[in-house]
A = this chain, B = another copy of it.
Amino acid sequence: MTGTNNERGYIVAIGGAENKLRHPGILRRFVELCGGRDGRIVVIPTASQLKDTGDDYRRLFLDLGAGDVEIESIRSRSDCARTDTLSRFEHADGVFFTGGDQRRLGRLIGPTPLAEFLIDLNAKGLHIAGTSAGAAFLSARMIIGGKGGTMPRAGMVHLTDGLGLLSNVIIDQHFRQRNRFGRLLAALSDHPELLGLGVDEDTAAFIGPRDEFQVEGSGAVTVVDTSQLELGKRASQSESSPLSMIDLKVHILAREASYDLSARCATI
């Protein structure tokens, strides 16, 4: 694999609906990151229920110049414990989680030997990307459902455990397109220790080995930093009663902007 300098591999969170034909900048950058002609990418289409999803990405990555692309259809938790499954990731340069339903990823791959192996390989240089459900799955806690809307309401979001590559963030996808600012705030009001990343469609955060990410694509990544947050109490007992949230810091980052996840600092 390409990452021979003992640095962590990139973690790439794509907001879904990435451009695949005319301007496939995000997918092309991922292929290049994985070494292009010398690179080997494994696609995990487990989130999707459509039978062509894996093949579609395989063809796309080959068209974009990847040397070798394999599909690893994880269909059960026991698949994730089999030595032959794990061995197929051993010499990969990149892993790509497709979109679909992130609950399937949580249920089938959640905390399994494969999940641990991927975290370990990423630490040694394997690049791991996910789009839509695949992006949500990258972090330790992930959003599995909730309503759209500008502002947070109680009960508008549900969380569960993700893959765990990133322990300090929570990622929401299709962010602008599905008006998910409110549900990300609702998630953060329960987990103010996390940093919220709302990734638009056709947009990606390329999180490098030093925990700094650059934005790629046609939309923006919205960062919600609750480190200064002061939370009010609900004015009434009603669950739908709004919650005061004071001192949220928000950054909207378009292409060419970057963000340091450790220092919590944005640069244009």
Contact = CB atoms under 8 A, between A and B. Distances in A.
Number of copies of this chain that the complex holds: 2
A111 interface: no
A235 B247 contact: no
B244 A257 contact: yes
Contacts of A185: 252
A63 interface: no
Give chain A's interface residue range (CB within 8 Å of chain B).
35 or more
A151 B248 contact: no
B242 A219 contact: yes
Contacts of A155: none
Interface in A129-175: 148-152, 175
Interface of A: 148-152, 175-176, 179-182, 185, 198, 200, 218-220, 222, 230, 232-235, 241-257, 266-268
23 contacts: A149-B179, A151-B181, A176-B182, A218-B241, A220-B242, A220-B244, A232-B257, A232-B268, A234-B254, A235-B256, A241-B254, A244-B251, A244-B252, A244-B256, A244-B257, A245-B250, A245-B251, A246-B252, A246-B266, A246-B267, A247-B251, A249-B250, A250-B250
